[in-house]
Amino acid sequence: MERENKIRLSFCKGDAVVISFVIMLAILIGVVFWMKTGTEQGNIVVVYQEGEKIQELSLDKDTEVLIENYYTNKLIVRDKKVAIVESDCPGMDCVHSGAISGKGRSLVCLPNRVEIRIEGEVDSEVDFIVR
């Protein structure tokens, strides 16, 4: 009888506070991790010319860049997408490629020796894309 009483007593108000604190902390950590992995933030647009990295742009920030080499490519970043919208190269394959957005995708202008690649921390499910 006395024993039972003791056990019941040991679960006090303080314990409830500690348990709820731990649960809240767990939820908080869970939410933070979920937000981190849930969105594809932090991917960057990398411009290579003749195999050398010449520029890095944020995929999250709308911008417009001219890439000048043998020809001139006009590159735009808008709504987390990248495209070459104008080019004076023959064939204009780069412009016809349209807009890209996912990590691992790339745009190429062969005549201008330019490659635009989306790189980032977000793991993509494919290693390589064949056109």
Partner 1 sequence: MIQGKNILQKLIFLVLAMALLTGCRTSGKEQETKVEKTQYQASFLNLFDTVTTILGYAETEEKFEEITDEIYTNLEKYHQMFDIYNEYGTNNIKTINDQAGIAPVVVDGEIIQLLLDCKEYYNVTNGRVNVAMGSVLQLWHETREAGINDPENATIPEESALIEAAKHCNIEDLIIDEKASTVYIRDPEMSLDVGAVAKGWATQRVCENAPEGLLVSVGGNVKATGPKPEDISWVVGIQSPWDANADYVHTLYVNYESVVTSGDYQRYYTVDGEKYHHLIDPETLHPGKHWNAVTVVCEDSGLADALSTALFLLPKEEGEKIAKQNGAVACWIASEEEIFYSEGFKEIIKR
Nearer to partner 1, 17 or 35 (CB): 17
Find the binder of partner 1 among 40, 113, 120, 122 (CB under 8 A).
113
Site string for partner 1, 65-104 (x = CB under 8 A): -------------------------xx-----xxxxx---
Find the binder of partner 1 among 28, 34, 36, 50 (CB under 8 A).
50
Nearer to partner 1, 34 or 70 (CB): 70
Question: At a CB cut-off of 8 Å and minimum separation 6, what does 106 contact?
Answer: 100, 115, 116, 117, 118, 129
Phi, psi of 62 (to 5 degrees): -65, 135
Nearer to partner 1, 1 or 81 (CB): 81
Beta-sheet strand order (sheet of 106-109): 52-58, 44-49, 114-119, 106-109
Q: How far apart are CA 77 and CA 58, in angstroms?
A: 8
Find the binder of partner 1 among 18, 24, 27, 54 (CB under 8 A).
18
